[in-house]
Chains A and B, each alone.
Chain A
Amino acid sequence: MGQASQQAPGRYQLSQLDVLEAEAIFIMREVAAEFERPVLLFSGGKDSIVMLRLAEKAFWPGAVPFPVMHVDTGHNFPEVIDFRDRRVAEAGVRLVVASVQEQIDAGKVVESTGRWASRNRLQTAALLEAIEDHGFDAAFGGARRDEEKARAKERVFSFRDEFGQWDPKNQRPELWSVYNTRIARGEHIRVFPISNWTELDVWAYIQRERLELPSIYFAHERSVFERDGILLADSPLIARDDTEVPFTETVRYRTVGDLTCTGAVKSTAVELDDIIAEIAATRITERGQTRADDRASEAAMEDRKREGYF
């Protein structure tokens, strides 16, 4: 608990961040107690940074009792990979990398081609194979219900069948904070401890806990080009056509994902305070502003989640 719990107006009143933190810690402990092989998905993005911090707090002074896993599309921002490795070493947890590139090289999946080529969808195969290979029975994700309308419907403990599929019409009822953790062999549960957090809560928590972030979250100069209203990084990983002329802009990233489908936003925010002010004033959702992958159709996220996406 932060300072807030001692100074809140009512004596037995917790601040919103304290309540959300207590809930997330409860969920993480529940998983550690009831599953044999949990894993925490860790991309080096802000939500997973919060998740790793919560895991450290939940089991302190003991070590985090599960490894972390990065589903690596191979299309990374180098700053984020540096950060990932540093943070994982600092936390003393084991890192498992589920590599999309290895899946492609082994001929298990085929990369899409053309202007809209993205490895986003291929992550699902890499994730599911890693879950199977390592025998993971629970995978923590940093998804939030405020991100997207299909996620708003998903349980905190979200059951996946032996093919990793989500069945939105047949979800287990979830009452109070009593979570059903029972599964058969080969099935697993995706667990979302920060389901009830908003984007602003995540930033406020990062500020309160003084969490380090990859540098690309802060304003910097970058060579970018515009595609369908989204500013994409000028990178050898993305094929531009002749009309897509790169230019230098002061930008930051509001979300961190695969480089080929994550857009930057124009920003001069170099401090956390500036970012929080910017988020509080924005009129566009983070996925709407920065994720090309959600634009495929109105139910793009629901469809990907059914297949096993996080």
Chain B
Amino acid sequence: MRNDILRFATAGSVDDGKSTLIGRLLYDSKSIFEDQLDAVERTSAARGEEYTNLALLTDGLRAEREQGITIDVAYRYFATPKRTFIIADTPGHIQYTRNMVTGASTADLAIILVDARKGLQEQSRRHAFLTTLLQVPHLVLAVNKMDLVGYDQARFEEIKAEFADFAAKLDAPDLTFVPISALHGDNVVGRSENMPWYSGPSLLHHLENVHIASDRNLIDARFPVQYVIRPHKSADPELHDYRGYAGQLAGGVLKPGDEVVHLPSGLSTRISKILTADGDVAEAFAPMSVTLLLEDEIDISRGDMICRPNNTPTASQDIEAMVCWMTDARKLTPRSKLIVKHTTRTAKVMVKDLRYRLDVNTLHRDEQADHLALNEIGRVRLRSTQPLFVDEYSRNRQTGGFILIDESTNATVGAGMVVRAD
């Protein structure tokens, strides 16, 4: 079990062959079990479908099977000898933008599927934009159904050039293009003999080898305090004064002896020990869950942040962020009051200003917009009741991302990515 984990999101509609692709990855890596396949075959046959409908494997809800579409994110798991994979299979339709945003938020890589016959569609551009907005570090454009265009290199190059043009306008990360046929398996697991002109890796080979270790921020030490461990009732006298600050590193590296700064107090101390139930740790780094013991007694509680001197997040009550609105029950408007949850800290916020609404298909900025409705994205200024300890989302997805909660319904109504804080 020495594998690392790659989390990837797939975007594209059923018509683009997304479910077929996932089905093939699962099937060829022997991650579909016989009883699952039996069930799908039985259902397919009962509905009079000509082929075994692999979408039935991923569309797990009754409503999805009835409507033949993916509504919500489904998580799938498979492993090869090289890596373990978590797939967030996200719906492609515009009315499920929030679900795609959800799936992309934790992804190391996103695969956007394009039908080689149709080329780039409005939704391909939208998927690419959302992927870069969520700062998914690696993007793969899989040009599918190459068999239906005669495995034509020129067609592939044309789509590739068009997409590269568009991606240049985005803050596009590492970009890879693979021509595939999910139905026939060309360039999915093994290299295709039908496309000798393609010299790149198969899709699975790329997934197995793409370098993700350096995607984590190991520079800026960020330790949001999650829980204070105080075993006061313990019979062990050594534990009477124990005060451990438990949490998961959101970035950087911490070592015993390091000088650290506590926010919001600004007080400094040193780390005396870093503990886990398995014993002391010489270094802690993201995403380890550890407990810090500090040399001095400082009043520290949940929602506080421990970081290094000269490298602290911005402590601010004024946040500017890109917000994706996720409810149809109400709209985001200036003066809306909401609850923000950012790392382990919860506060109230008021929307000060909607700078603009972004058209997710054309990237046009509408500065006249006075609200965001469901699935709309815009740049928003927020004022919070307490300082939040934020980084730009492009620098750290953990300390740059937050959710917005409706105070009366408790629903999660928005997701935000910090652009700047004053």
- Where the two chains meet, the residues of A that have a C-beta atom closer than 8 Å to any C-beta of B are 1-2, 4-6, 8-10, 12-23, 25-26, 29-30, 32-33, 56-63, 145-146, 148-153, 168-169, 171-180, 182-184, 195-196, 198, 200-201, 204, 208, 282-285, 288-289, 298-299, 302
Contacts and interface: CB of A to CB of B under 8 A. Distances in A.
A152 B58 CA distance: 8
B398 A13 contact: no
B403 A175 contact: yes
Contacts of B253: 12
Contacts of B213: 10, 12-13
Contacts, number: 202
B160 interface: no
A1 B276 contact: yes
A16 B278 contact: no
B248 A178 contact: no
B377 to A, nearest CB: 14
B395 to A, nearest CB: 14
Contacts of A23: 287, 289
30 contacts: A1-B276, A1-B281, A10-B213, A13-B4, A14-B288, A15-B2, A15-B4, A19-B5, A22-B248, A22-B289, A26-B287, A58-B289, A60-B276, A61-B234, A145-B76, A145-B77, A146-B76, A150-B60, A152-B58, A175-B403, A176-B106, A177-B248, A178-B341, A178-B401, A179-B341, A180-B405, A180-B412, A182-B410, A288-B35, A288-B36
A284 B61 contact: no
Residue picked from B105, B239, B277, most chain A C-beta under 10 Å: B277
B61 A168 contact: yes
B218 interface: yes
Interface string B260-299: 0000000000000000111001100101110000000000
B9 to A, nearest CB: 12
Nearest to A57: B277
A149 B289 contact: no
B75 A196 contact: yes
Given A21-B289, A173-B403, 13 more contacts: A4-B1, A15-B4, A22-B248, A29-B246, A33-B226, A59-B246, A61-B234, A62-B230, A153-B72, A173-B412, A176-B105, A201-B1, A302-B62
B80 interface: no
B415 A175 contact: yes
Given A26-B289, A29-B226, A150-B61, A178 B403 contact: yes
B231 A152 contact: no
Contact of B288 (A22, A150, A169, A285): A22
B412 to A, nearest CB: 4
Interface string B67-103: 0000111111101000010100000000000110110
Contacts of A145: 75-77
B382 to A, nearest CB: 15
B410 A180 contact: yes
Given A29-B246, A33-B344, A168 B77 contact: no
A27 B285 CA distance: 18
Contact of B61 (A4, A169, A198, A288): A169
Nearest to A12: B285
B1 A17 contact: yes
Interface centre among B35, B39, B58, B99, by most chain A C-beta atoms within 10 angstroms, is B35
Contacts of B278: 1-2, 57
Most buried by B among A5, A60, A149: A149
Contacts of B401: 175-176, 178
B402 interface: yes
Given A173-B412, A284-B35, A33 B289 contact: no
B289 A25 contact: yes
Interface of B is mostly: mixed
Contact of B75 (A10, A152, A183, A204): A152
Interface in B403-420: 403, 405, 410-412, 415
B288 A5 contact: yes
Nearest to B286: A12
A276 to B, nearest CB: 10
Contacts of B410: 180, 182-184
B99 A284 contact: no
B343 interface: yes
| Listed residue (B60, B102, B248) with the most chain A CB atoms within 10 angstroms of its CB | B60
Nearest to B105: A175
In order of increasing CB-CB distance, the 10 nearest A-B pairs are: A288-B35, A149-B60, A57-B277, A62-B231, A60-B277, A175-B105, A182-B410, A25-B289, A22-B289, A29-B227
A19 B35 contact: no
Contacts of B239: 61
Given A13-B213, A178-B401, A26 B226 contact: yes
Given A22-B248, A22-B288, A32 B4 contact: no
Contacts of A148: 60
A30 B246 CA distance: 10
B397 interface: yes
B209 interface: no
B118 interface: no
B102 to A, nearest CB: 5
Nearest to A6: B282
B34 interface: yes
B371 interface: no
